Amino acid sequence: MKRGILFVLLSAVAGGLTAFGVVSYMQKDIAEVVVMNEKNGAEFRTVSLSQNDYPDFTYAAETAVDAVVYVKVSATQTIQQSPGSIFDFFFGVPQQGAPQQREKTGSGSGVIISKDGYIVTNNHVIDGATKIEITLNSNQTYPATLVGTDPATDVALLKIEADNLPFIPFGDSDKLRLGEWVIAIGSPYDLRSTITAGIVSAKGRSMPNYTGEFKIESFIQTDAAVNPGNSGGALVDKAGNLVGINTAIVSQTGSYTGYSFAVPSNIVKKIVYDLMDFGSVKRAILGITMQQIDDKIAKELKLSSLNGVYIVEVSKSGAADKAGVKAGDVLIAIDSIKVPTMPSVQETVSRYSPGDKAVLTVIRDGKELKLDVVFKGTAQENGEKTGDGAVAFYGSAIKEASKETLERLGLKNGVEIVEVGPGKLQEAGATEGFIILYVNDQSVKTPQDVISVVKKSKRAVFVEGVTPSGRSGYFAFGL
């Protein structure tokens, strides 16, 4: 009898636990319920979220806040003193516009990205500064040196002499999803270590460029509150990874009105590593002029969507030109990355370095084509290495001619033009494969010989040599 009662009790307990487990499992797995309104047939969705699905920023905030710093900058301004100023009133000596020196201060935010003291901020935060000072969240203060800047992306890299600093690891900004929660950390209005939260409102945003300067803009837009002083601060995901550098707001008052913008971390990462390694940004250039696809273009080209960019012009001898891209093509992808807009093209290309290879996907005459491209770089100073053994020379590249080339042309030595880009050589009619033998009547054997002779020239440069077909040739250009 007792065994029977015990068995019943154990069965009841086991059944209860089983029922609880099933209910809990079902509640955990049920993500949405669709309810049909019987009157008009409209559908309504209700979503059931567990406690773990609600945003919790405590980990991200507590781990990242110590790596966001206060950046104080000082700059010396020269002010023209006007006659009849307060200076004259006190001293009775008309200064007739005598210049006066005055120190101007400003501030922003920065993000420590390595334990040995590298700090990312905005270029506009430190632009023109003669002195930069960093204050950590622990109130320790350090003088900072400027490693380098990139005005095109509004990114700057600083360095302080310190060790074992807290830092924020780079995240993958490509993986951010619309509606995903993020937090912004900075020092708005000198309120240091301020943390605000919001969602990713949009990706690939650009803003009107009224200055005509070259800019790469593919911002992450969020509704996290960002105000003056937040510039250069961190945009962080829930895992505590750096996904952007807060840069700008859109406002008619100068204060936050619901829109803030950050440079994606994937762009920032490429920029800062270039600045660390080279002191300047090695920017890849595709060599195209593009236009956003609209209904008219889509209709004319019989495109199935408006995604992609219409190529208006291809730069002669540029990377796209050598890859076989033609005006009228529609670029839809670079490697496996889709590029539906012009900002997305800029963002994707900005991740590559000169000499990197990629596959362009274009639509031509209704068919998809895959074209191999080798990215070129921006114009470099004469004599600067281009990365393939050649050196820059007025927008083009030259290097010592190979033994095979010299033997084929029956020459003992010479300097070959291996690439012709926008600049003096292209304007003078120089072609790739031309072997330079003389510059201003002086024999040359190496690229440095060519550059040395040109440096001594005062008005013009006269180049003599041999064409790829073996004929004598020459060209000239002014300085």
The residue annotated as part of the active site, out of 109, 150, 154, 260, is 154
H-assigned helices in 65-200: 86-91, 123-126
Q: What is the DSSP string of 428-479?
A: TT--TTPEEEEETTEE--SHHHHHHHHHH-SSEEEEEEE-TTS-EEEEEEE-
Question: Distance (Å, rounded) from C-alpha 357 to C-alpha 61?
Answer: 39
Strands (DSSP E) contained in 113-163 are 118-122, 131-135, 141-143, 145-150, 155-159
Strands (DSSP E) contained in 18-117 are 32-36, 43-47, 68-80, 99-112
Question: Distance (Å, rounded) from C-alpha 418 to C-alpha 434?
Answer: 8
Question: Distance (Å, rounded) from C-alpha 290 to C-alpha 312?
Answer: 5
The residue annotated as part of the active site, out of 66, 114, 124, 174, is 124
Backbone φ and ψ of 238, nearest 5°: -65, -20
Question: Distance (Å, rounded) from C-alpha 126 to C-alpha 21?
Answer: 59
The widest CA-to-CA distance across the chain, in whole angstroms, is 121
Question: Distance (Å, rounded) from C-alpha 212 to C-alpha 369?
Answer: 33
Q: Are 145 and 130 in contact (CB under 8 A)?
A: no
Our answer to whether residue 317 is catalytic in this structure is no
Paired tokens of 155: 């990114």
Our answer to whether residue 274 is catalytic in this structure is no
| Paired strand residues for 417 | 398
The CA-atom distances, in angstroms, between 56 and each of 66, 169, 197, 332, 433 are 18, 19, 10, 38, 62
The one-letter code for the residue type at 334 is I
Our answer to whether residue 124 is catalytic in this structure is yes
| Paired strand residues for 359 | 372
Question: Distance (Å, rounded) from C-alpha 354 to C-alpha 128?
Answer: 29
| Paired strand residues for 118 | 159
Question: Distance (Å, rounded) from C-alpha 396 to C-alpha 383?
Answer: 11
The residue annotated as part of the active site, out of 173, 231, 260, 317, is 231
The one-letter code for the residue type at 458 is K
Question: Distance (Å, rounded) from C-alpha 160 to C-alpha 133?
Answer: 9
> 127 by DSSP, 3-state: which?
coil
Active site residues: 124, 154, 231
